[in-house]
């Protein structure tokens, strides 16, 4: 306390109040800064992140940053100014700490020139006696306010949310058609002379992608070629902006490649299936699928999955009503219905399946019908399924079967048998292949893949009841 007295001896009460005002003002400023800095930094970080990720241009990022800083300064100022303690408030604080009964307040706020000098001097002398009771750093320490902690936590959460939602936003934004994205990138690149070649390639690719006449193989080749060009240019490019643009292009092309690759994988998976069921449901990514070159008549180029004889009779396919409920989900071994292979299980009749594929392969290139159906199978079917698959009850089907409301499913062994039979030539008078007298699926037979694994395609649920 002696040291404290010595420290305070040089100052008068008015100066003490001024010092307290300054100290409290600094504290309020710190409070405001700590409260508003985290969200401001988060905003700037977000802008920078979006800029580096090429989501926004440099101008937008700069604008957002500047606006954020400006808003931050405004908010800090608006919060800081009203909270800056007045001389009266500060002197009241001192009075409360020292028990001076508003002496500091009076001394700090009165106009000495308009007050009796004797009384002012007396008051100053009285007030100076209370200076020893206060030490500003000790009595008014700075504490971080709860609002600062709340701001920090809120900002961290916002940052976390930003990073969590960014992929969602990315997927939403990139859901634009690939050609359009390519065109957008190409437009940006057009302003850079060094990227003109890439720009043209991208524009060409976009046009090709939109052209339905272009074959998938050609598209894929074009994508790969453009990717190579972009990759090479990326390696050469030194400017950051150009690299970013090339990165965008590469990303879009990669997406395209993945889509086409996935389509190919799916098609391969379809091809791996032996005597499974064929469907004309829309299938993506068939660009790599081998197009049927035509020929083979109406039935050529398509896989005819045929029911067993029992199933053709409707007996087994529909099932005995009495048995259906009990046995529908529990096929018995040895039952006629259990002849239907489980598509999930590995097919033990792999050779048969291969034969079936062989037979499909043999159908290529023959006949008058120049692959109309084979070509159509490459296109993604839209709208309602073909009428010949879903006839109304009692309606005369194309193949002359009444009441056929099911698709045919050909088991591997049947396919093998059919293939053998075809060798003898099951053709009509015109030489066209005569199909079986059951409704058939219009999905073309997948291309033959030697040593392909067994089919893993799930049988659609809508057919299971019918088959069993």
CB of 240 to another protein, least distance (A): 57
Between 123 and 467, name the residue whose CB sits nearer to another protein: 123
For residues 273 and 412, give the distance between their C-alpha atoms in angstroms, rounded to a whole number: 10
Between 7 and 115, name the residue whose CB sits nearer to another protein: 115
Between 123 and 245, name the residue whose CB sits nearer to another protein: 123
Between 24 and 35, name the residue whose CB sits nearer to another protein: 24
CB of 127 to another protein, least distance (A): 9
CB of 139 to another protein, least distance (A): 19
Does 58 engage in binding with another protein (CB under 8 A)?
no
Between 17 and 245, name the residue whose CB sits nearer to another protein: 17
Q: Are 304 and 441 in contact (CB under 8 A)?
A: yes
Three-state SS letters, the chain: CHHHHHHHCCCCHHHHHHHHHHHHHHHHHHHHHHHHHHHHHHHHHHHHHHHHCCCCCHHHHHHHHHHHHHHHHHHHHHHHHHHCCCHHHHHHHHHHHHCCCCHHHHHHHCCHHHCCHHHHHHHHHHHHCCHHHCCHHHHCCCCCCHHHHHHHHHHHHHHHHHHHHHHHHHHHHCCCCHHHHHHHHHHHHHCCHHHHHHHHHHHHHHHHHHCCCCCHHHHHHHHHHHHHHHHHHHHHCCCHHHHHHHHHHHHHHHHHHHHHHHHHHHHHHHHHCCCCCCCCCCCCCCCCCCCCCCCCCCCCCCCCCCCCHHHHCCHHHHCCHHHHHHHCCCCCCCCHHHHCCCCCCCCCCHHHHHHHHHHHHHCCCCCCCCCHHHHHHHCCCCCCCCCCCCCCCCCECCCCCECCCCCCCCCHHHHHHHHHHHHCCCECCCCCECCCCCCCCCCCCCCCCCCCCCCCCCCCHHHHHHHC
Query: Under rule CB under 8 A, which residues in 91-130 are in contact with another protein?
Result: 92, 101-103, 105-110, 115-116, 119-120, 122-123, 126
CB of 101 to another protein, least distance (A): 5
Nearest in space to 377 (alpha carbons), one of 279, 236, 247: 279
Between 20 and 209, name the residue whose CB sits nearer to another protein: 20
With b for 16 or more beta-carbon neighbours within 10 A and e for fewer, the 118-149 pattern comes to eebeebeeebbebbbebebeeebeeeebeebe
Between 124 and 219, name the residue whose CB sits nearer to another protein: 124
CB of 120 to another protein, least distance (A): 7
Query: Under rule CB under 8 A, which residues in 313-372 are in contact with another protein?
Result: none
CB of 28 to another protein, least distance (A): 16
Between 92 and 272, name the residue whose CB sits nearer to another protein: 92
Query: Under rule CB under 8 A, which residues in 249-278 are in contact with another protein?
Result: none
320: left (phi over 0), alpha (psi -120 to 50) or beta: beta
Contact letters (x/-) for another protein, 162-181, by CB under 8 A? --------------------
Size of the site for another protein (CB under 8 A): 20
Between 116 and 431, name the residue whose CB sits nearer to another protein: 116
Between 82 and 394, name the residue whose CB sits nearer to another protein: 82
CB of 97 to another protein, least distance (A): 15
Contact letters (x/-) for another protein, 68-97, by CB under 8 A? ------------------x-xx--x-----
CB of 157 to another protein, least distance (A): 36
Between 16 and 407, name the residue whose CB sits nearer to another protein: 16
CB of 87 to another protein, least distance (A): 9
Between 106 and 410, name the residue whose CB sits nearer to another protein: 106
Place of tokens 């009749």: 349
- Quickly count: other Cβ atoms within 10 Å of residue 378's Cβ: 17
CB of 103 to another protein, least distance (A): 6
CB of 247 to another protein, least distance (A): 60
CB of 18 to another protein, least distance (A): 16
Contact letters (x/-) for another protein, 125-164, by CB under 8 A? -x--------------------------------------
Q: Give contact residues for another protein (rule: CB under 8 A).
A: 86, 88-89, 92, 101-103, 105-110, 115-116, 119-120, 122-123, 126
């Amino acid at each position: 306390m002696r040291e404290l007295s010595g420290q305070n001896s040089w100052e008068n009460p008015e100066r003490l109040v001024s010092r307290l005002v300054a100290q409290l003002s600094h504290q309020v400023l710190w409070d405001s800064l700590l409260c508003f800095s985290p969200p401001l930094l988060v905003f700037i970080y977000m802008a920078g992140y979006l800029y580096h990720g090429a989501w926004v241009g440099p101008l937008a990022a700069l604008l957002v940053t500047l606006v954020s800083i400006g808003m931050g300064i405004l908010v800090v100022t608006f919060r800081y100014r009203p909270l800056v303690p007045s001389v009266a408030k500060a002197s009241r604080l001192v009075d409360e700490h020292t028990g001076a009964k508003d002496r500091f307040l009076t001394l700090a706020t009165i106009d000495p020139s308009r007050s009796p000098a004797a009384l002012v001097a007396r008051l100053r002398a009285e007030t100076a006696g209370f200076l020893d009771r206060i030490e500003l750093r000790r009595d008014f320490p700075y504490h971080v306010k709860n609002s600062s902690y709340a701001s920090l936590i809120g900002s961290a959460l916002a940052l976390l949310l930003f990073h969590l939602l960014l992929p969602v936003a990315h997927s939403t934004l990139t859901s634009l058609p690939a050609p359009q994205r390519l065109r957008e990138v190409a437009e940006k690149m057009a302003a850079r002379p060094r990227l003109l070649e890439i720009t043209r390639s991208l524009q060409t690719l976009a046009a090709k992608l939109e052209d339905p006449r272009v074959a998938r193989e050609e598209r894929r080749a074009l994508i790969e070629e453009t990717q190579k060009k972009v990759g090479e240019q990326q390696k050469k490019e030194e400017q950051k902006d150009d690299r970013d643009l090339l990165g965008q292009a590469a990303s879009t092309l990669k997406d395209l490649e993945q889509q086409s690759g996935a389509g190919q994988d799916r098609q391969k998976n379809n091809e791996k299936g032996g005597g499974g069921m064929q469907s004309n449901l829309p299938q993506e990514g068939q660009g790599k699928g081998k197009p049927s070159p035509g020929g083979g008549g109406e039935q050529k180029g398509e896989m005819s999955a045929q029911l067993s004889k029992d199933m053709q009779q409707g007996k087994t396919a529909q099932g005995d009503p009495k048995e259906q409920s009990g046995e529908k989900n529990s096929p018995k071994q040895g039952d006629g219905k259990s002849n239907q292979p489980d598509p999930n299980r590995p097919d033990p009749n792999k050779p048969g399946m291969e034969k079936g594929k062989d037979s499909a392969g043999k159908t290529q290139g023959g006949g008058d019908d120049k692959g109309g159906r084979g070509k159509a199978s490459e296109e993604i079917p839209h709208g309602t399924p073909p009428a010949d698959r879903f006839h109304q009850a009692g309606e005369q089907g194309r193949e002359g079967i009444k009441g056929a409301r099911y698709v045919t499913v050909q088991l591997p062994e049947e396919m093998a048998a059919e293939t053998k039979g075809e060798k003898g030539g099951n053709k009509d008078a015109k030489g066209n292949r005569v199909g079986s007298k059951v409704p058939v699926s219009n999905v073309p037979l997948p291309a033959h893949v030697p040593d392909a694994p067994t089919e893993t395609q799930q049988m659609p649920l809508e057919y299971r009841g019918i088959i069993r």
